[in-house]
Chains A and B, each alone.
Chain A
Amino acid sequence: MKPMRKLSTSLALVLLVVAALIAGPAAAQSLNVDIVGGLKTATPIAVVPFAQAGGEPLATDVADVMRNDFNRSGKFRSLAKSEIVETPSKGADINFATWRLLKQDYMVVGRVIDAGGGSLRVEYELWDVNKQQSLLAQAFTAPVGDLRGVAHQIADQIYEKITGVRGAFWTRIAYITAVGLGNNTTYALIVADSDGYNPQVVARSRESLLSPAWSPDGRKIAYVSFESGNSAIYVQDITTGSRQLVSARSKGINGAPAWSPDGSKLALSLSYQGNPEIYVMDLASRQETRLTNNLAIDTEPRWTPDGQSIIFTSDRSGRPQLYQMPASGGGADRITFQGQFNANASISYDGKQIAMVQGNGNVYRIAIMDRSLGGQVRFISPGPIDETPSFAPNASMLLYAASEGRRGVLYAVSADGLVRQRLVLSDGDVREPAWGPYRER
């Protein structure tokens, strides 16, 4: 029995990778799943292709979107489509013996029904294979064009039901693309689904864009643009496209915007007074408060989830390290001690984990420091030039940027570092990922 299980497990993994490779180059936005370690802890789940009752063939395979979500999370190992031999669409039609033989713990069945007026009704059921017990039975009605969104929301509900943690598949990501070379490079701020699909251009520039930061309500993005010659900070509404200039001092850097958890303030790094210092700007009054005062580079501020502290990068002790200070200002304490270079923090929703870029020699990797474990650090990316970690809102995964040859690419990685997926988003250079907050239906 045991070797059999191992065999089928490794077969499933091989098929998963092969399927991903075959699907890979076909579409410009396709995805590669790169399994970098064992998945002994991943829960097997079978997502049966959803039946379709009436209407034209759909562009979106709901089950396929869900399978990719589950696999990317590292928490689940979904049965490859090619191994799915029976296709029940209702719990009553499930032959549990088949799925027990396939070593599946859970299974999802469902159907897509034409609801008229360009809408679809998607019904699904989650079953515990061993207990032959229904765990969830829900339905969504949505426009045809939002079928991927529905699939992500179903995946979120299932993820939460089984793991007890809210799913974050139905979220969006922001990133920067640079297309072309030298003076012909054009930059774009893009917003896409968490799996890289449905990319939408939010802003374009002939000069560099960087440091996109989501407002806590997910409606706006603050970012840095060099379009006026020097760096300047803008806040843009991603739905209406309207934007505000927040900071454009002609002298020095206007950089590193970060929203306070309540969305009322932006922390910034400005150098008009000589060298980069951390400031907090009240967005309603535009009043600025300076928080740091020394000769070092102080930048990349991030608010802790309680809004009480700001963690930032400073080289006041020589090379860059992370420091923490009260959000109202005051003394800063160094919080990173392992590694020559630590910068660009991303803080998990519960404040317990801090992801950062850690550089040792010429190798820069994404490291996560677990504050509940006495500052112990683990690496979740291989390097050598990895940067810009960004936690998903449930901290189950992160995005980061890496270099492949002369171009930048984005990776989604499970928080344990065991499952890594390259998001193939664009022909150009892709960088500066930022994972958006939860969305509200």
Chain B
Amino acid sequence: MNKTIRVALVALLCVGAAACSKKQEVKPQPQPEPQPMTQPAPTSNKFTPADLDTDACLRQRVVYFDFDKDVIRPEFEQIMQCHAKYLQDRPMAAIRLEGHTDERGTREYNLGLGERRGNAVSNALQANGGSASQLSVISFGKEKPVCREHNEDCWAKNRRVEIIYTAK
């Protein structure tokens, strides 16, 4: 009796386990579904000109600098990567890097400083896969400020390199 009960119980457990394992076999199927959403298929991940208007990274076209510095801050590394990737994906694309400074310092020295910033962005884009032939640098020094107040908020906005696509 005890044996039969035991067998029956085991059988029941097995049925339950089977039922469970069947459900589990169905469940794994939805799991791979979210994966393709986060990881784009390796075959179709090249940028297109439309991405310049829609991609959150490519839409960022201004790199800001510290006073009298041409070092690219860590927060702009991602921008360097996506624009460099665009240049790689689109060999006919071209970028003009326009270097700017704040109002402090003389006009000619600031032309030099703006150029240095433009070169820093050009070098970063090349280090990330862009080609030198796709990149040109022009410095406007302090000639084209976006902000005209005499304070740090304004100066920070003016110390910049603008990434201008001359060919997409």
Residues of A within 8 A of B (CB): 208, 210-211, 226, 229-231, 251-253, 255-256, 269, 271, 275-276, 297, 299-300, 313, 315, 319-320, 341, 343-344, 357, 359, 362, 364, 384-385, 387-388, 403, 406, 431-432
A320 touches B104 (CB 8 A): no
User: Which of A253, A341, A344 has the most B CB atoms < 10 Å from its CB?
Assistant: A253
How distant is the Cα of A230 from the Cα of B98 in the complex, in angstroms? 10
Chain A residue nearest to B151 in the complex (CB): A362
Which residues does chain A contribute within 8 Å of B115, judged by CB atoms?
Answer: 252-253, 271, 275-276
Which residues does chain A contribute within 8 Å of B148, judged by CB atoms?
Answer: 406
Tell whether A300 pairs with B108 under 8 Å between CB atoms, given A226-B140, A226-B143, A253-B139: yes
Which residues does chain A contribute within 8 Å of B108, judged by CB atoms?
Answer: 210-211, 255-256, 269, 299-300, 313, 344
CB-defined interface of B84-110 with A at 8 Å, one 1/0 digit per residue? 000000000000000000011111110
B111 touches A344 (CB 8 A): no
Which residues does chain B contribute within 8 Å of A297, judged by CB atoms?
Answer: 109, 112-113, 116
Which residues does chain B contribute within 8 Å of A315, judged by CB atoms?
Answer: 109, 112
Chain B residue nearest to A403 in the complex (CB): B150
How distant is the Cα of A210 from the Cα of B149 in the complex, in angstroms? 21
Tell whether A210 pairs with B138 under 8 Å between CB atoms, given A253-B115, A276-B115: no
Which residues does chain B contribute within 8 Å of A276, judged by CB atoms?
Answer: 111-112, 115
A362 interface neighbour in B104, B116, B139, Cβ under 8 Å: B104
B111 touches A313 (CB 8 A): no
How distant is the Cα of A406 from the Cα of B106 in the complex, in angstroms? 17
A300 touches B109 (CB 8 A): yes
B138 touches A320 (CB 8 A): no
B112 touches A387 (CB 8 A): no
How distant is the Cα of A359 from the Cα of B108 in the complex, in angstroms? 15
B55 in the interface, Cβ–Cβ < 8 Å?
A: no
B144 in the interface, Cβ–Cβ < 8 Å?
A: yes
A359 interface neighbour in B105, B136, B149, Cβ under 8 Å: B105
Which residues does chain B contribute within 8 Å of A364, judged by CB atoms?
Answer: 104-105
8 closest pairs, A vs B, by CB? Answer: A297-B112, A208-B143, A344-B106, A276-B112, A256-B108, A343-B106, A299-B108, A406-B148
How distant is the Cα of A384 from the Cα of B105 in the complex, in angstroms? 11
21 contacts between A and B (CB under 8 A): A208-B140, A210-B108, A226-B140, A252-B137, A253-B112, A256-B108, A269-B112, A271-B115, A275-B112, A275-B116, A276-B115, A297-B109, A297-B113, A300-B106, A300-B109, A319-B68, A343-B105, A343-B109, A357-B106, A387-B106, A403-B150
Which residues does chain B contribute within 8 Å of A208, judged by CB atoms?
Answer: 140, 143-144
How distant is the Cα of A299 from the Cα of B143 in the complex, in angstroms? 17
Chain B residue nearest to A187 in the complex (CB): B143
How distant is the Cα of A118 from the Cα of B103 in the complex, in angstroms? 49
B105 touches A299 (CB 8 A): no
A387 interface neighbour in B107, B111, B150, Cβ under 8 Å: B107
Which positions 124-168 of chain B face chain A at CB distance < 8 Å? Answer: 136-140, 143-144, 148-150
* B29 → A minimal CB distance (Å): 58
* B146 → A minimal CB distance (Å): 9
Chain A residue nearest to B148 in the complex (CB): A406
Which residues does chain B contribute within 8 Å of A384, judged by CB atoms?
Answer: 150
B107 interface neighbour in A210, A230, A359, Cβ under 8 Å: A210
Chain B residue nearest to A432 in the complex (CB): B107
Which residues does chain B contribute within 8 Å of A299, judged by CB atoms?
Answer: 108-109, 111-112
How distant is the Cα of A343 from the Cα of B112 in the complex, in angstroms? 13
Chain A residue nearest to B96 in the complex (CB): A229
- Beyond A210-B107, A253-B112, A364-B104, 11 extra complex contacts between A and B, CB < 8 Å: A210-B108, A230-B138, A253-B139, A269-B112, A275-B116, A300-B108, A315-B109, A359-B104, A384-B150, A388-B107, A431-B107
Chain A residue nearest to B68 in the complex (CB): A319
How distant is the Cα of A319 from the Cα of B103 in the complex, in angstroms? 16
Which residues does chain A contribute within 8 Å of B107, judged by CB atoms?
Answer: 210-211, 387-388, 431-432
B138 touches A229 (CB 8 A): yes
* A13 → B minimal CB distance (Å): 31
Chain A residue nearest to B139 in the complex (CB): A253
A385 touches B68 (CB 8 A): no
